[in-house]
Structure 1
Amino acid sequence: MTVIEETNNITKTHVLIFPFPAQGHMIPLLDFTHRLALRGGSTLTITVLITPKNLPFLTTLLSAGVNIETLILPFPSHPSIPSGVENVQDLPPSGFPSMIHALGDLHAPLLSWITSHPSPPVAIVSDFFLGWTHHLEIPRFVFSPSAAITCCILNTLWIEMPTKVNDDDDDEILEFPKIQNCPKYPWSQISTIYRSYVHGDPAWEFIRDSFRDNAASWGLVVNSFSAMEGVYLEHLKREMGHGRVWAVGPILPLSGNDRGGPTSVAVNHVMSWLDAREDDHVVYVCFGSQTVLTKEQTLALASGLEKSGVHFVWAVKEPIEEDSTRGNILDGFDDRVAGRGLVIRGWAPQVAVLLHRAVGAFLTHCGWNSVVEAVVAGVLMLTWPMRADQYTDATLVVDELKVGVRACEGPDKVPDSDELARVFADSVTEKQKERIKAVELRKAALDAIQKRGSSVKDLDGFIQHVVSLGLDQ
């Protein structure tokens, strides 16, 4: 593998990229890698570390006409992870910490690769679940696929280690007074990994230290932009004690249609169906790559859509084999909503759907990728957070940015179908102030990635800093 290239007699600076093997984490970091290669192609050589079964995720990037090398390392065996599993999508939520811990066993082979390389990388950019990469003898930049406010909260949790007054009260409120503008949250909405932490367990101590390493790392790259999260970006700079925090978002995908999974409806059909609808009159419903609604939630959502009278596109997850009660839809629902509802079983071309002129509202679980994509589209968000940082994202969207309204909350809550119908109808018929705010935030997002935008300046600043690390060696 050639890792040194000459352009005008200038040796390129080598950077290593290490994504965490979860779809919602890999995609934004690989999209950032593409942007990095395009913007810094004359000065950077980029290697992406991947495990064998996740190599298909690189297909689009490797075929994009940019110079990207790959480093394939075997996935470490782990007693809690079945043989052959290398992606969080193939594990239950309880397996997430095991994945973090298992990947830590790549430290030795990765360090060996770095130290024996004829032109080793001068820095590594790795996901915020890979904090141990801070200890690889080269500067480590954290990549956050989540919001800047989430980074602030996670750093506070794992450094200060707050505890509940009443162990049995999940509604007890946790405050973050050091973080300006930060909302208060009940313990039930705090990071599941943090709430699961077991003091004294070596596996959990590794995870704790890994999160703490994020705050101690050389720098931070965030998929956000200053007009959206300026106060939290400034907090991170103060907290980390330096200015090496770069907001480079919104990180747009390589393509809107070519990175999904199996689907029941062709992309062209989805787009032509939308073409026949009025501007801003379609509600798009999707809950990300992992969330599967219960049967009761699915029935309530179907009823709400049916009662609302709105036009909609609904991406429905297939049932989970171990539990046939999940992911099912009302018998005959497709027929009853024919003409105004399009049901997609499986993957939907979300970016393209959100950007379509006909889509005016988006019922979302508030995963950060979905939030960013909705912001870029200028679409009103109807929030239904389920877990993890989705609660944080929802409060940011609804209470601070005011580009969304609450539809439901929680993984076990079954919404009232009549109330849901009202929310759907209002979202595409009323001239809500949130829709106006969404359009304004879209303009700010697009301005950030224009030639002289804040995120382009931050990306250039990041590249210049990395190059300076190479010159200092």
Structure 2
Amino acid sequence: METAPGPHVLVIPFPAQGHALPLLDLTGLLAARGLRLTSTKGCGPEYFAFFIHALTSLRDPIRAWAKSQPDPIAAVLADFFCGWAQPLAAEIGAAGFVFSPSGVLGTAVPHSLFRRLVTRPPDRADDDAFRVTFPGIPGAPAYEWRESSMMYRNYVAGRPEDPRVRDSVRRNFLWNLDSSVVGFVSNTLRALEGRYLDAPPLEDLGFSRVWAVGPVAPESPDARGGEADDAGLGAWLDAFPEGSVVYVSFGSQAVLTPPVAAALADALDRSGVPFVWVVGPAAGDVVPDGFEERIAARGRLIRGWAPQVAALRHRAVGWFVTHCGWNSVLEAVAAGVPMLAWPMAADQFVNARLLVDEARVAVRACAGGVGVAPDAGELAAVLADAVGEKGRGVAQRAKELAKEAARAVKEGGTSYADLEDLVQEIRKLR
């Protein structure tokens, strides 16, 4: 039987890899359910505050385009860094939905900071260990000032100097909390964040409903394309026992300073564990001289892109040293790989606490922070303990969570149900 075409949804991604990829994955899921989608495009950001401000200039041309469409826009689905799209949705008579590439907790915390304008008391103005409490979030979590969003810390410190840029960043978050917003669509799942999803609607998310539809990434490692193992990593991993290899990667944004890279290399050397270290394109500048030759029998360095999804699903990979970026977190969760948490910035400290203390699928690798070098001896002990007997409990819990994540996205699962409900909500708008 023929069915009427679905409502027209305008999708506005924030053009950074960690934001755009999950939204494109979600767009594919919505298209498969009959919705008609149009997406804006952009180039990657150099400095997030300036880029958030610059993207607001898209508002007028998008408004003009939307009003010229013969098929009216029923809904606008925009990344949470594109808060300007929410008043735009109201202007064109569409419903506004906020997409979160982070978890619910990792989204609520920065919105809370910008909503409440939290500052350190004068007598602790230089104390990065000052703890900020979030009373509107279940459990009233507290984080050190240094663990807060760098974007927010720059804001209260008067950076960037241009007040238009700073005000634009804060308005971005406040627009997401406006009462006209229908709700948040989050790349998360109840098995991981049920405490925050099943609570009453959070004030730090504008009391809005949250649809937990994750993990939205395809199950197959090569479903996105470009996952060919040109470096022969799979064949190299085949030589190691199950769960014995530690995979090390800090995502697409973090760049290790030479002292941090030297401490990591020293720890890997001392630990004696087999490992894969994705060091990025600047590897030649940060890897200590002679290190690669010294560990050639049990270590592999990858400069540039690596097939991370496929690697995490290889039987030999038992642990993942990660910055706790949300995409990497969900890739590890789906693969059933426990994590060694080394947060750097953004939502990563919040994610690390969630993984270590609540989900119990991770162990702290070090305190973390951009440019903060860990104690090599302590990190080496953490690595050795993880692949040994001490890490078995966390590894088992990671495997259990992977099964829950797989069930969540299949028919009858919680994420599947939320996705179907979201589609029906949008269809009603027509």
Same fold (TM over 0.5): yes
Deviates more, 1:11-20 or 1:452-461: 11-20
Partner of 1:443: 403
Q: Distance in 2 between matches of 1:9 and 1:358?
A: 47
Instruction: Tell me the SS of whatever aligns to 2:22.
Output: helix
Judge conservation of contact 2:9–2:73 (CA < 8 Å) in 1: yes
1:251 is aligned, of 216, 223, 230, to: 216
2:51 is aligned, of 99, 107, 110, to: 99
One-letter identity of the residue aligned with 1:355: R
Judge conservation of contact 1:236–1:245 (CA < 8 Å) in 2: no
Partner of 1:3: none
Q: In the comparison of the two structures, how many residue pairs are matched? A: 415
**In the alignment, is residue 304 of structure 1 matched against residue 305 of structure 2?**
no
Q: Percent identity?
A: 46
Q: How much has 1:258 moved relative to structure 2?
A: 7.8
Q: How much has 1:268 moved relative to structure 2?
A: 5.9
Judge conservation of contact 1:317–1:327 (CA < 8 Å) in 2: no
Q: Distance in 2 between matches of 1:241 and 1:182?
A: 17
Q: Distance in 1 between matches of 2:120 and 2:206?
A: 29
Deviation per residue, 1:22-71 (Å, 9 max, x gap): 11101111111112222x13xx11111113xxxxxxxxxxxxxxxxxxxx
Counterparts of residues 383-394 of structure 1 (less than 5 Å): 383-394=341-352
Q: How much has 1:426 moved relative to structure 2?
A: 1.4
Counterparts of residues 411-426 of structure 1 (less than 5 Å): 411-426=370-385
Q: Distance in 1 between matches of 2:287 and 2:422?
A: 47
Q: Distance in 1 between matches of 2:56 and 2:268?
A: 45
TM-score (normalised: structure 2)? 0.91
Q: Distance in 2 between matches of 1:294 and 1:159?
A: 33
Judge conservation of contact 2:83–2:176 (CA < 8 Å) in 1: yes
Partner of 2:99: 143
Judge conservation of contact 2:100–2:107 (CA < 8 Å) in 1: yes
Counterparts of residues 296-335 of structure 1 (less than 5 Å): 296-319=259-282, 327-335=285-293
Judge conservation of contact 1:298–1:327 (CA < 8 Å) in 2: no
Q: How much has 1:106 moved relative to structure 2?
A: 0.4
One-letter identity of the residue aligned with 1:49: T
Partner of 1:153: 109
Q: Distance in 2 between matches of 1:327 and 1:256?
A: 30
Judge conservation of contact 2:182–2:208 (CA < 8 Å) in 1: no
Instruction: Tell me the SS of whatever aligns to 1:11.
Output: coil
Deviation per residue, 1:108-141 (Å, 9 max, x gap): 0001111111102200111000001011222111
Q: Distance in 2 between matches of 1:420 and 1:170?
A: 23
Unpaired runs of at least 5, structure 1:
1-6, 52-85, 321-325
Q: How much has 1:254 moved relative to structure 2?
A: 7.5
Return closer, same or farther for 1:467/1:286 CA change in 2, 3 Å cut-off: same
Counterparts of residues 49-448 of structure 1 (less than 5 Å): 49-51=40-42, 86-88=43-45, 91=46, 95-136=47-88, 137=90, 138-166=94-122, 167-197=125-155, 201-216=163-178, 217-235=181-199, 237-239=201-203, 244-253=209-218, 256-257=221-222, 266-267=229-230, 269-319=232-282, 327-408=285-366, 409-432=368-391, 433-448=393-408
One-letter identity of the residue aligned with 1:465: E
Judge conservation of contact 1:293–1:327 (CA < 8 Å) in 2: no
TM-score (normalised: structure 1)? 0.83
Q: Distance in 2 between matches of 1:105 and 1:254?
A: 36
Partner of 2:15: 21
Unpaired runs of at least 5, structure 2:
none
Q: How much has 1:242 moved relative to structure 2?
A: 6.2
Partner of 1:62: none
Return closer, same or farther for 1:388/1:243 CA change in 2, 3 Å cut-off: closer
